[in-house]
Amino acid sequence: AGRLFLQPHTGATVIRKATLQDTGAILALARASFVVVEKDDVALSLSIKEGNVDVAEDEGRVVGYVESFLPPGRPAYLLNELAVARNARGLGWGRKLAERGLERAEGRRVRLFVSHDNEIAKGLYVSLGFEEIGRAQGGLVLMERNAK
């Protein structure tokens, strides 16, 4: 009688620094995820060059990204944008990307804005230690996580 051996998953699933080659995929994710996309390819390219953008890659395909940085003159690190492709949601990519942004904050206080009606994202951020601290224009909720 033969035995059935399962082959290990060989596809690369990683969180890595974004490269300029990722620009098109990141902009497509942003356009699919946000009502207003303030970034263009020039602004995104600059942010990538500055090392502020990480991507989630599954078998060679960008399935999510996070942009995070310390704004000049501000005391809190900013988790600026986080998006995951619709067909890759629910697989833990959002959490992994948020955790990467938090690692980059190096223990600083972190702030983010999230849509007031995005309950899934708000739940993720609360589970990572964020609390709502205010409201902003356009139905955005300001959340903060204290320094760790």
Q: Is pLDDT of 123 > 80? A: yes
Residue type, 65: Y
Provide the percentage of residues in the chain whose pLDDT is more than 70: 90
Q: Which two tokens stand for residue 39?
A: 């970034």
Q: Per-residue confidence at 12, pLDDT binned at 50, 70, 90?
A: low
pLDDT tens column, 71-84: 999 989 999 999 99
pLDDT tens column, 129-138: 999 999 988 8
pLDDT reported for residue 37: 67
Distance of CA 65 to the CA centre of its chain: 5
Q: By CB neighbour count within 10 A (0-12 exposed, 13-18 middle, 19+ buried), where does 10 fall? A: exposed
